[in-house]
């Protein structure tokens, strides 16, 4: 039997602490009613394609924005969201690479082969080159395209780089986790390198500049040098607020009374990022872009609770398929929106931005069939019903299989040991191991350990492999209905079977020692030649070729050399 109480605390106690003080249906937080009489007259159709600014933050928790009742100050995000459209039924992916790949391609992970984990720095892997990306479609529509920030979609060969995937310019990091000042990234003991790039070159001269400031300054520079008469797309993928927890001291000082050190640093980073968004918005106005612009704000996954983030009152955290891992902060701010100052409960997924933005740009979608995303602009701008009725959160056949799952538990049609999750209408189904399943209030207490605040440790959870929730009625996933509604479980399992038939093989090759930064001038970057790329893509082993014997011998000797050299380097550094 599930336990719906804290160890040593009651739900009433939480209310008295104020952790449940904000309500999803409270008008001041959810449904902002437009009072401006000018909004009764709808704006005409766009005179020209709008400028598009897409802002993606990293590891920002669902609770960590002012208008969700947070103790973190985000006045800019609060204002932009209040004046635009808040997306309160908006979904992303639970970790970095999957969200970014789905944004850039408009396709589920099962259709790009990236359904397992992330792309790691030493893997010969990247966003499949046969995918036509969002910036490429916008280039076709006449847009100037720019990326600033974190890529994390692979870089083992030059064809994988942002400037080869549709961006005219790029300033940022290629891996998933760098120091905010030095831009160093270690992928294990002794495997460290510099990761800040300008175009396809290493930007050594930018070291020492706090990344949030550096990226904001670059956006302002791009806007200053471009003509507002020509359409522009800027993808701003902030490193913030991913670990390491680093922030300028002046922002930390604002939260000096916050007892939990990790939460204090994290809050400072969020507020710094908020001010960066303010400066970007100011630049749009200063240089004449704002009146014909669309600003989209999105998080990439749920917050990491042991690194200061909070997804309260949602269940779970980053890396899980509970709502705390996949429900994102999202809003659209634009003078071009017909019905502003409101909250939308239309179902929206991160794959939807591809067709939505290409349609806004008057681009051509006819030559990219099979997209998983929908054009949701009418739902956002006019309040119409969303064309989306379901979301495949993912099917990951490589993730650790649940101990108690079986084909029998899945009515003989689905092995419930496989990690998968799907939302259909108001129902959400999870199978396998969905990940850490607790509810964790904001870590505002000194030396707060998350394990104290488990609302439910799921005493029988380890023996389960199927969960069913009515997300509309139970957004916090407290009441598992899988036993009461086997009919719904079976229906959603059939949808998983349907999607799984369309899945392509997982792309998750073994790491290769040639990617070590010491072999690339001390920086992370492309390391495979065109010939090498084909040999390593299949999972770390050479693929068949006409010169099989010669190449196999060459590769074996090379690998042996790098393996021995890498061992010496690691022993010296350790």
Q: What is the pLDDT of residues 20-57, one digit of tens each?
A: 333 333 333 323 333 333 333 334 446 799 999 999 99
- Lowest-confidence segment of 55-59, 418-422, 452-456 by average pLDDT: 452-456
**Annotated catalytic sites, by residue?**
96, 152
Stretch 6-21: mean pLDDT: 35
The pLDDT value given to residue 136: 98
Q: Using 50, 70 and 90 to split pLDDT, how confident is the model at 443?
A: low
What pLDDT score was predicted for residue 7?
36
pLDDT > 80? residue 427: yes
Task: For residues 408 and 415, give the distance between their C-alpha atoms in angstroms, rounded to a whole number.
Answer: 7
- Give the whole-angstrom CA distance, residue 331 versus residue 390: 20
Domain layout of the chain by residue ranges: 51-388, 408-502
- Look at residue 463 in the predicted model and tell me its pLDDT: 82
- Better-predicted residue by pLDDT, 530 or 436: 436
CB-hemisphere CA count at 13 Å for 422? 27
The DSSP secondary-structure symbol of 251 reads H
Is residue 456 scored above 60 in pLDDT?
Answer: no
Q: Is the pLDDT of residue 316 over 70?
A: yes
Contact 125, 154 (CB under 8 A): yes
Tell me: pLDDT of 307 over 80. yes
Give the per-residue pLDDT at 571. Answer: 38
Domain 408-502 carries which CATH code? 3.30.1120.10
pLDDT at res. 342 = 98
For the ranges 31-40, 159-168, 381-390, 471-480, the lowest mean pLDDT is seen at 31-40
Work out the average pLDDT over 250-272. Answer: 95
Helices 261-286 and 211-225, axial angle in degrees (round to 10): 10
Average pLDDT along the chain: 86
pLDDT of residue 99: 98
59 conformational bin, left if phi > 0, alpha if psi -120 to 50, beta if neither: left
Looking at residues 463-477, what average pLDDT do you find? 96
More confident residue, 427 or 20: 427
The rounded percent of the chain whose pLDDT value lies above 70 is: 81
Whether the predicted pLDDT of 516 surpasses 50: yes
pLDDT exceeds 60 at position 260: yes
pLDDT of residue 441: 85
Grade residue 536 by pLDDT with cuts at 50, 70 and 90: low
Looking at residue 159, the DSSP 8-state letter turns out to be: G
Higher pLDDT, 485 or 463: 485
pLDDT reading at 562 higher than 50? no
Mean pLDDT of 478-485: 97
pLDDT reported for residue 32: 36
User: What is the phi/psi pair of residue 202, to 5°?
Assistant: -75, 130
**CB contact set of 61 (below 8 Å; sequence gap of 6+):** 299, 302, 303, 304, 305, 309, 310, 311, 312, 317, 324
* pLDDT tops 90 at residue 428: yes
474: number of Cβ within 10 Å: 15
- The CATH topology of domain 51-388 is Alkaline Phosphatase, subunit A (3.40.720)
| Predicted local distance difference test score (pLDDT) of residue 442 | 77
Q: Could you tell me the pLDDT band of residue 2, with boundaries at 50, 70 and 90?
A: very low
Per-residue pLDDT of 349-389, as tens digits, reads: 999 999 999 999 999 999 999 999 999 999 999 999 999 99
Given a cut of 80, whether residue 439 has pLDDT beyond it is: yes
Over residues 275-299, the mean pLDDT reads 98
Q: How many CA atoms lie within 13 A of 109 on its CB side?
A: 28
Mean pLDDT of 189-209: 97
Residues forming a β-bridge with 234: 53, 146
pLDDT over threshold 50, residue 228: yes
In whole angstroms, what is the distance from residue 27 CA to residue 69 CA? 13
pLDDT tens figures, 87-127: 999 999 999 999 999 999 999 999 999 999 999 999 999 99
Mean pLDDT, rounded, for 4-26:
35
What number of other Cβ atoms are within 10 A of residue 338's Cβ?
Answer: 15
What is the pLDDT at residue 89? Answer: 98
412, with CB counted inside 10 A (0-12, 13-18, 19+), is: exposed
């Amino acid at each position: 039997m599930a336990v719906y109480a804290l160890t040593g605390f009651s739900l009433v106690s939480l209310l008295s602490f104020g952790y449940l003080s904000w309500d999803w249906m409270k008008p001041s937080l959810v449904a902002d009613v437009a009072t401006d009489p000018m909004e009764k007259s709808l704006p005409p159709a766009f005179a020209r394609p709008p400028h598009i600014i897409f802002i993606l933050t990293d590891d920002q928790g669902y609770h960590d924005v002012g208008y969700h009742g947070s103790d973190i100050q985000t006045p800019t995000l609060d204002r932009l969201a209040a004046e635009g459209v808040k997306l309160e039924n908006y979904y992303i992916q639970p970790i970095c690479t999957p969200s970014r790949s789905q944004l850039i391609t408009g396709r589920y992970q099962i259709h790009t082969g990236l359904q397992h984990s992330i792309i790691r720095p030493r893997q010969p892997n990247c966003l499949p080159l046969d995918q036509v990306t969002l910036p490429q479609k916008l280039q076709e529509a006449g847009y100037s395209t720019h990326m600033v920030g974190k890529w994390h979609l692979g870089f083992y060969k030059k064809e994988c780089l942002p400037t080869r995937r549709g961006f005219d310019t790029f300033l940022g990091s290629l891996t998933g986790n760098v120091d905010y000042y030095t831009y160093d990234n270690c992928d294990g003991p002794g495997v460290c390198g510099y990761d800040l790039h300008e175009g396809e070159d290493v930007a050594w001269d930018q070291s020492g500049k706090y990344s949030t400031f550096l990226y904001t300054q670059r956006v302002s520079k791009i806007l200053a040098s471009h003509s507002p008469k020509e359409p522009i797309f800027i993808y701003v993928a902030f490193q913030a607020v991913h670990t390491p927890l680093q922030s300028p001291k002046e922002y930390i000082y604002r939260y000096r009374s916050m007892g939990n050190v990790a939460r204090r640093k994290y809050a400072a980073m969020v507020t710094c990022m908020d001010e960066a968004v303010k400066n970007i918005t100011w630049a749009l106005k200063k240089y004449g872009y704002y009146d014909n612009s669309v600003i989209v704000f999105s998080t990439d996954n749920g917050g990491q609770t042991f690194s200061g983030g909070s997804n309260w009152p949602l269940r779970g955290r980053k890396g899980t398929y509970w709502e705390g891992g996949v429900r994102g902060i999202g809003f659209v701010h634009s003078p071009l929106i017909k019905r502003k100052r409101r909250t939308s409960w239309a179902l929206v997924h991160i794959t939807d931005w591809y067709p939505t933005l290409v349609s806004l740009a008057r681009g051509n979608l006819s030559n990219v069939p099979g997209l998983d995303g929908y054009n949701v602009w009418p739902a956002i701008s006019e309040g119409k019903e969303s064309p989306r009725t379901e979301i495949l959160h993912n099917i990951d056949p490589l993730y650790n299989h649940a101990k108690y799952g079986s084909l029998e538990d899945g009515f003989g049609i689905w092995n419930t040991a496989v990690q998968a999750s799907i939302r259909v209408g108001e129902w959400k189904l999870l199978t396998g191991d969905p990940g850490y399943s607790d509810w964790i209030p904001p870590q505002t207490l000194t030396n707060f350990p998350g394990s104290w605040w488990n609302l439910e440790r799921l005493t029988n959870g380890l023996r389960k492999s199927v969960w069913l929730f009515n997300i509309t009625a139970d957004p916090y996933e407290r009441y598992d209905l899988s036993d009461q509604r086997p009919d719904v479980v079976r229906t959603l399992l059939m949808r998983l079977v349907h999607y799984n038939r369309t899945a392509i093989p997982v792309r998750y090759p073994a790491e290769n020692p040639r990617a070590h930064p010491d072999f690339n001038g001390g920086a992370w970057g492309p390391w495979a030649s065109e010939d090498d790329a084909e040999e390593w893509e299949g999972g770390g082993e050479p693929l068949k070729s006409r010169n099989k014997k010669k190449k196999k011998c060459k590769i074996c000797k090379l690998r042996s050399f790098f393996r021995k050299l890498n061992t010496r380097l690691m022993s010296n550094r350790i």
